[in-house]
Structure 1
């Protein structure tokens, strides 16, 4: 399965962040919930108790992540609610470890993303949440970590669905 290139991620960022009309943002939002209703609902439920700034950033990141996956893989089936909950529960221990995230953990996660995941998409969430200077006053460390958890979860889910639709390599 091909990995999402950095240019696809950047194009998604540019397109979503370039939305200036409320109606266009509503269309992008509705599209996300049309193609991933249960995953999108879970994402929104996860961030509902966060500050408005964290919710806005998280939602925009979700739109960007979904767009990058759709642009690369075209048709990804939606995860159903049972799949979303089961996957989250299966990863809860890992997510709890992220509450103490540090540079070494991020480096290990980047290595894992390079080996079996989506390194450019993962790097986007790391850069956006932990290396963006304009984020510092708006979000507390706790919100950054919680957004990291849910965005990583979203990436992992979308990647799993993309793998399902990817044709296997033909060996001769």
Structure 2
């Protein structure tokens, strides 16, 4: 229940940043803020070390089992770079944890805007020195794909239907 309540705050806090209602914060900062809100509502007190440990759990998520081999296959013909809402250090930690290889790592942090804001996708294309139409965003979230298409990128949907958060995938 606590994890679901915490996860449910993800999109709203990113929207607050994109709408200018909250200053820019990286994922660790935003995850900490939403975790503290959820804990406060439930009258749960944790030590600073416990809070940090929970926030850093996001740095150790396992990739889908087919991802490492799929990335290697794609890397033989294409430049591969994640474009994540996670900050650069978070994505580096996830890549190391999952033994994932990328040609570079791109992050919403570089644009100071979270997906699906167009500047996130356009910043990625600019940093890769390509026209947005030369970039394909591959994702499992329709809102991310819609944002990329609106910014002029090509898109590919990966069907990752699961019981975890099915509304995000439909």
Greater C-alpha radius of gyration? 2
More helix by share: 1
**Higher share in strand:** 2
Which structure is richer in relative contact order (CA contacts within 8 A, separation 6 or more)? 1
Q: Which category describes the TM-score, using the shorter chain as reference length? A: under 0.3
TM-score by length of 1: 0.27
